[in-house]
Amino acid sequence: MDYLLLAQAVTEANPANLKIWAYVGFIGLVILFLALDLGVFHRDAHEVSMKEALGWSVVWLSCGVAFTGFVYFAYQNHWLGLGLETPKYVDGAIVLGEVAGATAAIQYLTGYVVEKSLAMDNIFVIAMIFGFFAIPAKYQHRVLFWGIIGALIMRGGMIFLGAELIMRYTWILIIFGLFLILTALKMALIKSESDPRNNPLVKLAKKFFRTVDFFDGQKFFTRRTVAPTYRLDESTGLQVMEPAPAGTLAAKWAITPLFLALIMVEITDLVFAVDSIPAIFAVTPDPFIVFTSNIFAILGLRALYFCLAALIAKFRFLKPALILILGFVGVKLLLLAGPPYLDDIGLAAADMKSIKIDPMISLAIVVGTLTVASILSILFPGKPEEEHKAG
């Protein structure tokens, strides 16, 4: 009882100590969403239709945007200490202070749009991975689901590590800004490696583990040594897998192409997280805003993939738009964090002020860039042979 009274006294003295429960509640909400997704709505493997994908895209988009309202009221009324003793940018430095609901809501929405737009490029690579491993359409949702689980864990760790680093060493923001600009230049000038066989982790998996070149339903691991056969169930009209013939089950488990595809999806997300997480820190250093906007953007990635996988080649100006967005947030970070540190190395006047771009302007630039790219892609579609090559 004494411990409970002590904890109550601490939280009453400093409501900001309750923020941990905001994270716990949000993570619980995400776990509930994922449990309903896999355990109820996608329990059985099936090919996701365009209609179903559009429906789920609307659901996830609505959840992500609706969370803006929660952010506004939570920060405005300081629910669970949100908005109190919160990291924010002031003259290029990060200080702890009070953040109003409107400011937090704009920062969340801007971060959500930035992360959602950068996730588009991820879809290009996932489509290539599924094509290379010839993943059947009905199994793609399972790979993406577990890929999202891994992405949530990796990004959560990277976000809180990044938040801790920039709180201690604000000059890291300059490195983030330069990295984003270099990434944009790389995307514009250098063609990336597109053959999954050349990935070192895929080579490592095949070297040290037994692999098979067939699918055992939607399993990631199998003991089968021969590909399964199927029969048509006349009562349901569905294909039913036949039991493995006697003597064809190995003692050791083997990796199926489905698991190799999952490895590649996880690596892809890790690579894109390295680009996108510095981009969100250009909007705000508040770890709660960074975390929630990033996670909501990732949650809708699966449905978005099924919507756009067949159409990505038609949006020929999308990649240039993503390059411009990366370059913009990189420059934004340099303008914010650069001036206070340039004088230390004799490159600026001591009274040189940092430049902070208003969150509403940032949101307008990001949304406007994506809108213009989409309109141009519709008005000036690529030639059929170009679209086939891009796809």
Residue 348: which pLDDT band, with cuts at 50, 70 and 90?
low
Helix 301-308 crosses helix 101-132 at what angle (to 10 degrees)? 50
Dist CA 113 CA 228 (whole Å) = 44
Do residues 61 and 304 touch, judged by C-beta distance below 8 A?
no
- Position 142 in a domain: yes
Over residues 79-94, mean pLDDT = 87
Taken in order 212, 217, 222, 224, the sign of the CA dihedral is: negative
Q: Which residues pair with 224 in a beta bridge?
A: 249
Task: Give the domain range for residue 50.
Answer: 18-198+278-390
Q: Which helix (H) or strand (E) holds 41?
A: none
Say which DSSP state 76 is in: H
Lowest average pLDDT, out of 18-32, 54-68, 269-283, 335-349, goes to 335-349
Contacts by 289-293 with C-beta closer than 8 Å and gap 24+? 289/71, 289/104, 289/107, 289/108, 289/111, 290/111, 290/159, 290/162, 290/163, 291/23, 291/26, 291/156, 291/159, 291/160, 292/26, 292/67, 292/71, 292/108, 293/108, 293/109, 293/111, 293/112, 293/115
- Position 67 in a domain: yes
- Position 247 in a domain: no
CA distances in angstroms from 320 to 182, 316, 323, 370, listed in the order given: 14, 8, 5, 10
Lowest average pLDDT, out of 89-98, 215-224, 282-291, 305-314, goes to 305-314
110-140, pLDDT tens digit by residue? 999 888 877 766 776 777 678 778 788 888 8
Question: Taking 70 as the threshold, does the pLDDT of residue 10 lie above it?
Answer: no
- DSSP per residue over 236-261, as a string? TTEEEEPPPPTT-EEEEEEE-HHHHH
169-220, pLDDT tens digit by residue? 777 777 877 877 887 787 777 665 445 556 666 777 778 888 888 889 889 9
Lowest average pLDDT, out of 186-195, 309-318, 381-390, goes to 381-390
Amino acid at 178: L
Dist CA 199 CA 249 (whole Å) = 29
- Position 272 in a domain: no
Over residues 12-18, mean pLDDT = 61
- Position 65 in a domain: yes
How many distinct structural domains can be found in the chain?
1
Over residues 157-171, mean pLDDT = 82
Say which DSSP state 350 is in: T
Helices (H), 14-136: 19-36, 50-77, 101-132
- Position 74 in a domain: yes
- Position 219 in a domain: no
239-271, pLDDT tens digit by residue? 888 998 988 889 889 999 899 889 888 887 887
Q: What is the pLDDT of residue 311?
A: 58
Q: Which helix (H) or strand (E) holds 383?
A: none
Q: Left if phi > 0, otherwise alpha if psi is -120 to 50, otherwise beta: which for 211?
A: beta
Residues 6 or more apart whose CB falls under 8 angstroms from that of 195 comprise 132
Residues 6 or more apart whose CB falls under 8 angstroms from that of 286 comprise 86, 87, 88, 99, 104, 107
pTM tops 0.85: no
Q: What is the pLDDT of residue 121?
A: 62
Over residues 70-92, mean pLDDT = 91
37-78, pLDDT tens digit by residue? 766 666 666 677 778 888 888 888 999 999 999 999 999 999
- Position 271 in a domain: no
169: its two tokens = 């060493």
Percent of the chain with pLDDT over 70: 79
Q: What is the pLDDT of residue 220?
A: 92
**HSE-up of 37 (CA within 13 Å, CB side)?**
24
CA angle 21, 26, 28 (to 5 degrees): 95
- DSSP per residue over 283-309, as a string? T---HHHHHHHHHHHHHTHHHHHHHHT
For tokens 């600009």, name the residue: 181
Q: What is the pLDDT of residue 287?
A: 92
Question: Taking 50 as the threshold, does the pLDDT of residue 391 lie above it?
Answer: no
Q: What is the pLDDT of residue 5?
A: 42
Cα-Cα-Cα-Cα dihedral of 336, 331, 274, 313, to 10°?
150
